Amino acid sequence: MVLAPRVYLLSPARTSSVRAQQLLESASPLGVALRSREGAAIGEVFAYLSSLYFRGKLAYASRFGAAELSTPGALVITPGHGLCRPSTRVRAADLIAMGQIDVDAENPEFVQPLLRDAGRLLKSAPDDTGFVLLGSIATPKYVEPLLSVLGERLLFPQEFVGRGDMSRGGLLLRAAREAAQLAYVPVHSTVRNGPRARSIHAQ
């Protein structure tokens, strides 16, 4: 059986955290790269900030993303920059600027770039592509903007329900390692009709 192609949308790490400030001042290779002219890959930066959870999302999306599509198999939701490839280079000033933008469905600075890129993604992907959100559906901060563009084609892993950040990260890493793709359900119906979804608290 041939599976429909998937594009994975990775929820962002917190860019205004103490850990973000530590990275900005760090003498580690990642911190040095972030402060350099070339910058550091945003996937690596967010993996540092969010630890196991984002590492799991990145590994899973890299393993199962539809690389043969004209669109990338994995895209990271970013404050103020819409959807970016994990390989996109960011500098210290970019990370600081992201930390000043509220990730909120009512904030145009966050929402407008996300809507723009989601619209481009929808136009460029084949009609049978599913867009899988690897993140929480408990709050509307990025769910509502994405739903307004992607509609019923926005999915999320059913196994996420009732799990916290660390559990999800471990689940995704195991699934990627074992090449065992998770089951997906539409966000649209779960948000509206799935009371258990409200127990999910991860970002």
CA atoms within 13 A on the CB side of 149: 19
pLDDT tens, the chain, 203 aa long: 456 789 999 999 999 999 999 999 999 999 999 999 999 999 999 999 988 899 999 999 999 987 555 678 999 999 999 999 999 999 999 999 999 999 999 999 999 999 999 999 999 888 889 999 999 888 889 999 999 999 999 999 998 988 888 899 999 999 999 999 999 999 988 744 344 333 333 34
Please give the model's pTM, rounded to 2 decimal places: 0.89
CA dist 12 and 49 (Å) reads 10
Residue recorded with tokens 């955290």: 17
End-to-end CA distance of the chain: 33
**44 burial class (0-12, 13-18, 19+ CB within 10 angstroms)?**
buried
In words, the CATH class of domain 6-14+50-87+102-199 is alpha beta
Domain boundaries, given as residue ranges, for the chain: 6-14+50-87+102-199
